[in-house]
A and B are shown apart, each in its own frame.
Chain A
Amino acid sequence: DAKTTQPPSMDCAEGRAANLPCNHSTISGNEYVYWYRQIHSQGPQYIIHGLKNNETNEMASLIITEDRKSSTLILPHATLRDTAVYYCIVRVVGYGGATNKLIFGTGTLLAVQP
Chain B
Amino acid sequence: SAVISQKPSRDICQRGTSLTIQCQVDSQVTMMFWYRQQPGQSLTLIATANQGSEATYESGFVIDKFPISRPNLTFSTLTVSNLSPEDSSIYLCSVETLETQYFGPGTRLLVL
Residue of B nearest to A106 (CB): B42
Does B50 lie within 8 Å of A43, measured CB to CB? no
Q: Which applies to chain B's interface (DSSP): helix, strand, loop or mixed?
A: strand
- Chain B min CB distance to A37 (Å): 11
Question: Which of these binds chain B: A17-25, A65-73, A76-84, A97-105?
Answer: A97-105
Among A42, A102, A107, the residue within 8 A (CB) of B101 is A102
A34 neighbours in B (Cβ, 8 Å)? 100
Question: How long is the Cα–Cα vector from A107 to B42 in the complex, in angstroms?
Answer: 8
Question: How long is the Cα–Cα vector from A26 to B96 in the complex, in angstroms?
Answer: 24
Question: How long is the Cα–Cα vector from A34 to B94 in the complex, in angstroms?
Answer: 15
Does B48 lie within 8 Å of A101, measured CB to CB? yes
Q: Which applies to chain A's interface (DSSP): helix, strand, loop or mixed?
A: loop
Question: How long is the Cα–Cα vector from A101 to B103 in the complex, in angstroms?
Answer: 13
Q: Interface size bucket, B side?
A: 20 to 34
State how many residues of chain A have any CB contact under 8 Å with chain B: 21
Segment 38-92 of A: residues with Cβ below 8 Å from B: 41-46, 49, 87
- Chain A min CB distance to B66 (Å): 16
Given contacts A41-B106, A44-B103, contact A104 B90 (CB under 8 A): no
**B interface list, Cβ under 8 A from A:** 1, 4, 31, 33, 42-45, 48, 50, 56, 90, 92, 94, 96, 99-106, 108
